[in-house]
């Protein structure tokens, strides 16, 4: 089946953002009742508000993003593409994520993945090869 490429300039939003942080809270991510790491949703919301990240860096809590074997999952989207990070666990990780969002908001452009999270970046569309 051929994929039709759409000219993205045809439609534009009035709600421009520098970046969008999508935290998964689905069937696995954040499900402490299933032995998975906590997703501190209320803390994240309060951090976004306290640090005035507002619309510059959009915070989204979503349903399952797909790669449940890498709980907890975060997808960060921006003009340069998307970064997927898995195995987030503990407040140190979430503090790094918030600091990253602050850096993006202050710089007014995308910023590289913070070093403490870099080893957990994965390609969402590249599966692990079977031996």
61 binds ligand FES (CB under 6 A): no
Number of residues that bind ligand FES (CB under 6 A): 12
Does 24 participate in binding ligand FES (rule CB under 6 A)? yes
Compute the Cα dihedral for 14, 111, 77, 98 and give only its sign.
Answer: negative
Reading the block at residue 19, the tokens are 């970046």
CA-based nearest residue to 106, from 45, 54, 40, 41: 54
Q: What letter does residue 52 receive in the DSSP assignment? A: T
Pick one of 18, 19, 26, 98: the residue that binds ligand FES (CB under 6 A).
26
Q: Which is nearer to ligand FES, 36 or 95 (CB)?
A: 36
Residues that bind ligand FES (CB under 6 A): 24, 26-29, 64-68, 71, 73
């Amino acid at each position: 089946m051929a994929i039709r490429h759409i000219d993205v300039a045809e439609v534009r939003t009035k709600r421009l953002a520098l970046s969008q942080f999508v935290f998964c809270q689905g069937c696995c991510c954040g499900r402490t009742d299933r032995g998975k790491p906590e997703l501190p949703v209320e803390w994240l919301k309060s951090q976004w508000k306290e640090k005035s990240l507002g619309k510059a860096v959009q915070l989204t809590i979503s349903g399952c993003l797909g790669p449940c074997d890498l709980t907890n999952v975060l997808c960060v989207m921006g003009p340069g593409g998307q970064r997927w990070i898995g195995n987030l666990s503990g407040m140190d990780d979430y503090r790094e994520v918030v600091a990253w969002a602050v850096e993006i908001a202050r710089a007014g452009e995308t910023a590289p993945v913070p070093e403490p999270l870099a080893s957990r970046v994965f390609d969402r569309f590249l599966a692990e090869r079977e031996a």
